[in-house]
Structure 1
Amino acid sequence: MQQQIMGALVRQATGLSPRLRAADGISFSSGGAHGHHRVVLATAMSKDKFFEIEMVVRDDEVDEYGVVNNPIYASYLHSGRDVMLEQLGISVDYWTSTGNAMALSELNLKYFAPLRSGDVFVVKVKPVLIKGVRIIVEHMIETLQDRKLVLEGRAVAVCLNKDFRPTRVFPELSASLIEVFSCKVA
């Protein structure tokens, strides 16, 4: 039912099919790192082709200094990628049902400012390059209220076959990333 509502909102607002863009204001839970669930407040596509996911810092994500612990930022980015793929119609459940997988082979992060418990922030995700078995993804985290830059990141995801061997980027994924994000292919 929620999928039908979202599809109608997306088609009405953008003319795009529901698998191509999430509608503003849709709320749902997404699997986060290590099986925890994070509440996603809203998702949208920005003008600069970043997929944006609003999230809230939970109390258990801060360290003894009262700020988000550095490794938690990687889980925010992971959740952002998962939500983006889910909105494209290619969820983690889909990959596991086919026997294929995706794995992170690199993650580079640059921190600018901390987040604290209760802060509402935006994870921005934009696949920029498909190269053989790899997908290069740019990330940003910004505070929601004033759009202050918290983190910049670059990830390399690798597609894996049923034997967990690298394989060319899956055709359905490649087609969606090219269509939605104008992702380059090398």
Structure 2
Amino acid sequence: MSVPNFWGFCGDLVLCFLKGIFGTGEFEMMDGYQFEIEMGVRDYECDMQGIVNNSVYQNYLEHARHEFLKVVGADFGEYAKKGINLVVVRAELDYRFSLQSGDRFAVGLNLARESVLRFAFYQDIFRLPCRKPVLRAKIIGTALNGSGRPEIPAALVSLLDGGAGEAVEETKE
């Protein structure tokens, strides 16, 4: 009679658990982006370990979203002046590789409708020139009217319903 390999079974469970938390190490970039912008890491964005602080990546993602909206005629600042606030309601970020001071990188994004009142930016950050994957994010947003209620402006509805389907020329900073 054979005895089940209890420790082997436990090891497999632990491995599955860790893969569930940390992923398999595979990271596929999106094939095409509606918008892409190049940037560089500045010294003050790095922490004591010499790498970009995790919170700074959200600034990179936000800057790319704002630049994209400007390019497609949906200026974030202009909406705010009109009492329409575009807000993030959820942010999912998967970190894969750390950037360091002086690194050049790009942020690519695609915009998609998530529901009647929500939209999503699917964003990747990758190091240049090799395009090594750094981060993948899904940012869910909505628009709030002057009363604080969700309401997507007509121009954004048009953008979400196909107006941003073509790639926008790359911007360098």
Q: Same fold, TM exceeding 0.5?
A: yes
The residue that corresponds to 1:20 in the other structure is none
Deviations 1:80-109 (A, max 9, x none): 100000111111221022111110000000
**Alignment counterpart, residue 134 of structure 2, candidates 138, 150, 158:** 150
Which residue does 2:4 correspond to in 1? none
Identity of aligned residues (%): 31
Deviation at 1:125? 1.2
Distance in 1 separating the partners of 2:52 and 2:101 = 7
Residue 48 of structure 2 corresponds to residue 70 of structure 1: no
Task: Show the counterpart of 1:173.
Answer: 156
CA distance in 2, matches of 1:96, 1:136: 19
Q: How does 1:102-113 map to 2 (within 5 A)?
A: 102-113=86-97
More RCO (CA 8 Å, sep 6+): 2
Q: 2:107 aligns with which of 98, 104, 123?
A: 123
Residue 52 in structure 1 maps to residue 36 in structure 2:
yes
User: Aligned partners of 2:153, 2:70: CA distance in 1, in Å?
Assistant: 15
Larger Rg, first or second structure (1 or 2): 2
Aligned residues: 136
Q: Secondary structure at the match of 1:95?
A: helix
Return the letter of the residue paired with 2:65. R
> How many angstroms does 1:150 deviate by?
0.2
Partner of 2:117: 133
Maintained 8 Å contact 2:111/2:164: no
- Residues 33 and 108, structure 2, Cα contact 8 Å, conserved in 1: no
1:56 and 1:49 map into 2 onto residues whose CA distance is 19
Instruction: After TM superposition, give the deviation of residue 121 of structure 1 in Å.
Output: 0.3
